C-alpha cells in the first residue's frame, strides 16, 4: 500500500487490518484517528507524523522513527516498539498496554499523563525527557533504563527494577516510586525531596549530601544505605529497615523513625531534633555527639547504643529498653512518665 492510499483510508475512517508499511516514508503524515490491527510499520519513517488518537492493536513498530511525532491520546495494545525512536515526540495522555520497548528512545520527549502498563523496557532511554504524571506499572522487565537529566514530576513507578537504571542529573518532584528496586543506586547530592519510596529496596544506596526533605521511606529496605550529611526535615522512615545505615552529620529535624529496625547504625553528630523513634529498635547504634533535643524514644529498644556526648535536652525515654546503653548527659533527658504509664496500663472493668 502506498502512502497516498494509506492516508486516504485513514481519512475515510477505514479499519486497517494486517497491512504492511515497513520502511514506508510517512514523514509528517496525518494518521490521527486511525485504527490499526496487526499492521506493521517496522523501520518506517514517521518523523513529525501525527498519530493523535490512533488506536493500534498488535502492531509492529520495530526500528521506526517517530521523532517529533504527535501521539497525544493514542492507545497501543500489545505494541512492539523495539529500538523505536520517540525522540522529541509528544506522547501526552498516550496509553501503552502490554507493549515492548526494548532499546526504544524517548530523549527529550514529552510524556505527560502517559501510562505504560505491563510493558517491557530493557535498555529504554528517557534521557532529558519531561515525565509529568508519567506512569510505569508492573512492567515485565525494566533492566538498564536511562533517566539521565530527566524531569520526574509526579511520576509513578510501581514494582519497577531500577537497580541498573541511570539517574545522573535527574530531578524528582513529588514522584511515587513504591516497591521499586534501587539496590546500590547513587543519589548523592541530588534533590529527591517529597519523593515516595514506600516499600522500596534501597540496600547500599548512597544519599550522601542529598535533599531528602519530606521523603517517605515507609517500610523501605535501607540496609547499609548512607545518608551522611543529607538534608531532610520531616523525612519518614516509619517501619524502615536501617541495619548498618549511616546518618553521620545528617540534618533530619523532625523526621520519623517509628518502628524502624536499626542495628549497628551510625548517627554520629547528626541533627535529630524533635525526631520520633517510638517503638523503634536501634540496638548497637551510635548517636555520639548527635543533637537529640526533644526527640522521643518512647517504648524504643536502645540497648547497647552509644549516646556519649549527645545533646539530650528533654529527650524522652518513656519505657525504653536501655540494656548496656551508654550516656554522658542522661540527666537532661526525660524518663518514664508515670501518668502516661498508668494510662497505658489501664484495663477497663468488665
pLDDT tens profile 38-68 = 999 999 999 999 999 999 999 999 999 999 9
pLDDT in tens, 175-191: 999 999 999 999 999 99
pLDDT for the residue 266: 98
**Count of CA atoms in the C-beta half-sphere (13 A) of 184:** 5
Query: Of 188, 97, 93, 170, nearest to 129 (Cα)?
Result: 170
Give the 3-state DSSP-derived string for the chain, with helices as H, strands as E and coil as C.
Answer: CCHHHHHHHHHCCCEEECCECCCCECCCCECCCCEEECCECCCCECCCCECCCCEEECCECCCCECCCCECCCCEEECCECCCCECCCCECCCCEEECCECCCCECCCCEEECCEEECCECCCCECCCCEEECCEEECCCECCCCECCCCEEECCEEECCECCCCECCCCEEECCECCCCECCCCECCCCECCCCECCCCECCCCECCCCECCCCECCCCECCCCECCCCECCCCECCCCECCCCECCCCECCCCECCCCECCCCECCCCECCCCECCCCECCCCECCCCECCCCECCCCECCCCEECCCECCCCECCCCECCCCEECCHHHCECCCHHHHHHHHCCCCC
pLDDT for the residue 348: 85
For cell 492507545, the residue is 75
Q: What is the mean pLDDT of residues 237-257?
A: 98
| Residues 108/125, Cβ–Cβ less than 8 Å | no
For cell 535498555, the residue is 123
Q: Which three cell numbers stand for residue 22?
A: 515497513
pLDDT for the residue 350: 78
pLDDT in tens, 262-320: 999 999 999 999 999 999 999 999 999 999 999 999 999 999 999 999 999 999 999 99
Amino acid at each position: 500500500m502506498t502512502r497516498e492510499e494509506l492516508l486516504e483510508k485513514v481519512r475515510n475512517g477505514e479499519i486497517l487490518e494486517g497491512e504492511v508499511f515497513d520502511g514506508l516514508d510517512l514523514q509528517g503524515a496525518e494518521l490521527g484517528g486511525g485504527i490499526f490491527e496487526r499492521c506493521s510499520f517496522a523501520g518506517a519513517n514517521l518523523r513529525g507524523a501525527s498519530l493523535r488518537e490512533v488506536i493500534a492493536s498488535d502492531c509492529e513498530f520495530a526500528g521506526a522513527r517517530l521523532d517529533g511525532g504527535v501521539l497525544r491520546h493514542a492507545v497501543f495494545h500489545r505494541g512492539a516498539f523495539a529500538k523505536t525512536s520517540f525522540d522529541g515526540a509528544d506522547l501526552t495522555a498516550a496509553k501503552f498496554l502490554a507493549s515492548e520497548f526494548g532499546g526504544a528512545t524517548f530523549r527529550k520527549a514529552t510524556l505527560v499523563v502517559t501510562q505504560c502498563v505491563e510493558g517491557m523496557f530493557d535498555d529504554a532511554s528517557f534521557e532529558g525527557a519531561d515525565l509529568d504524571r508519567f506512569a510505569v506499572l508492573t512492567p515485565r522487565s525494566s533492566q538498564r533504563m536511562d533517566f539521565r537529566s530527566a524531569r520526574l514530576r509526579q511520576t509513578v513507578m510501581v514494582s519497577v527494577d531500577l537497580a541498573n537504571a541511570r539517574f545522573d542529573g535527574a530531578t524528582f518532584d513529588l514522584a511515587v516510586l513504591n516497591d521499586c528496586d534501587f539496590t546500590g543506586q547513587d543519589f548523592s547530592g541530588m534533590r529527591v525531596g517529597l519523593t515516595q519510596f514506600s516499600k522500596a529496596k534501597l540496600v547500599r544506596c548512597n544519599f550522601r549530601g542529598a535533599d531528602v526533605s519530606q521523603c517517605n521511606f515507609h517500610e523501605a529496605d535501607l540496609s547499609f544505605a548512607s545518608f551522611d550529611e543529607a538534608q531532610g526535615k520531616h523525612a519518614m522512615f516509619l517501619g524502615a529497615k536501617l541495619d548498618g545505615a549511616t546518618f553521620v552529620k545528617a540534618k533530619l529535624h523532625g523526621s520519623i523513625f517509628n518502628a524502624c529496625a536499626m542495628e549497628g547504625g551510625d548517627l554520629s553528630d547528626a541533627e535529630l531534633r524533635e525526631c520520633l523513634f517510638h517503638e523503634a529498635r536501634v540496638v548497637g547504634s551510635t548517636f555520639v555527639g548527635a543533637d537529640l533535643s526533644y526527640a522521643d524514644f518512647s517504648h524504643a529498644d536502645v540497648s547497647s547504643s552509644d549516646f556519649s556526648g549527645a545533646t539530650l535536652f528533654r529527650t524522652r525515654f518513656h519505657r525504653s529498653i536501655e540494656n548496656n546503653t551508654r550516656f554522658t548527659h542522661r540527666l537532661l533527658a526525660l524518663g518514664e512518665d508515670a501518668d502516661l504509664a498508668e494510662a497505658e496500663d489501664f484495663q477497663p472493668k468488665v
